[in-house]
Amino acid sequence: MVMKGFLTAAGILVLASCYNPTIHSVTASCGVTKLRVSDNSVAGILTDIPEGRTLLSTGNTQFVIATGAGEMVLVNSTEMAVDTSFTVGFAGGAGYRSMIMPSSQNIYLTSSAGDLLQIDISELSVANSFSAGQQPEVLAKLPYSGEFFYVSDGTSTRISEFRTLNNSIVRESEPLGSPPAALAAESFANSYLIAVTGDEAGLCGILNIGTFHFERVMMGYPCSDAAAFPAESIWAVTHPMWNAESGMVSICTNFSLPEIEPVAVSGHPMKICSVPGTTLFYLLSYKAGGESSVISINYLTGQVESETVISGFPWDITSHGNGEFILALTSELPEG
């Protein structure tokens, strides 16, 4: 089933035989498409968010967008309308791309200055800014505890564990060998953190939280994102495969010596999330002509169940409203 939801487009990116993912605009206006998981219909669209970079669901009726302009945008998801926005840092840079919420009050966000920002969502202000390594890039939190959070360093390729009580470092892993592109914490064994990389061999480090050492797995292709299914030993990894006609997703079972099932998908999958209460992973995949696809995969069958086409370049995807909805953040594309 293929349906279309549209955001206003500034132009179409001209593609060569191989798309270079660094070409897309980081300053274009963005939008969020809200889809119902039950039938994959478009339930709402929010447009005109400048430089949106990452999404975070903060409750059944609210989500947050971090922007490259250094703003946090709080959105009423029922109305798909902005409640408020506030400045958290300077515009520009490669920051504002990873965001977590270990507690009901605090959000952590990578900044444009290379620090981490602790944001008090109730006060709409930055509570703290602190160093978390040479190049903090990706954040993760444990599903079952708000006591700790995790930060990958793009320079050292290590993962650090921080205590939320005082933002102090507790432990640091050995170097993974390649900078993690994404981190995913699982809630089945409550023991592992999955770190995937853009390494040509698809290096994946499965960090044992107890020992804080990696088990290394080669996925075979460069990875862009990962998601673990709640309370299951199932996780998935996206492979954009820019040099091929389309990419794939690896559905993995077990955290030590995982079994890996490749699933071909249309476009170049970049972001993925799991949906609680279902057996579905949803991914956001880039297609030619300035469009993206929101694709659902049933991990029990390894089959693609739906595809919904929306406008723009893919930035982020998340489940929302206890698994009732999917939110997809895309940006307009510049003229080629």
The encoded tokens of residue 197 equal: 């990389």
The encoded tokens of residue 228 equal: 């673990």
For CA atoms 9, 40, 184, 167, the dihedral sign is: positive
Q: Nearest Cα to 274, choosing from 223, 318, 309, 233?
A: 318
Q: Is residue 25 part of a domain?
A: yes
- Residue 26: the pLDDT is 56
- Residue 100: the pLDDT is 98
pLDDT digits (tens, 9 = 90+) for 166-178: 999 999 999 999 9
For the chain, the domain total comes to 1
Question: What gap in Å lies between CA 163 and CA 280, rounded to an integer?
Answer: 32
Average pLDDT over residues 152-170: 97
For residue 33, CA distances in Å to 66, 69, 289, 292, 327 come to: 16, 21, 18, 11, 6
Average pLDDT over the chain reads: 90
* Close Cβ partners of 244 (under 8 Å, ≥ 6 residues apart): none
pLDDT digits (tens, 9 = 90+) for 225-278: 999 999 899 999 999 999 999 999 999 999 999 999 999 999 999 999 999 999
Confidence band for 92, pLDDT divided at 50, 70 and 90:
confident
Average pLDDT over residues 93-98: 85
CATH number of the domain that residue 135 is part of: 2.130.10.10
Confidence band for 7, pLDDT divided at 50, 70 and 90:
very low
Average pLDDT over residues 195-205: 98
Tell me: pLDDT of 297 over 70: yes
Average pLDDT over residues 48-62: 95
Question: What gap in Å lies between CA 299 and CA 266, rounded to an integer?
Answer: 17
- Residue 94: the pLDDT is 73
- Residue 6: the pLDDT is 35
- Residue 186: give the domain boundaries: 2-331
Tell me: pLDDT of 140 over 50: yes
Average pLDDT over residues 274-283: 97
Higher pLDDT, 13 or 225: 225
For residue 262, CA distances in Å to 237, 249, 272, 283, 298 come to: 10, 6, 15, 14, 13
- Residue 1: the pLDDT is 41
Q: Is residue 336 part of a domain?
A: no
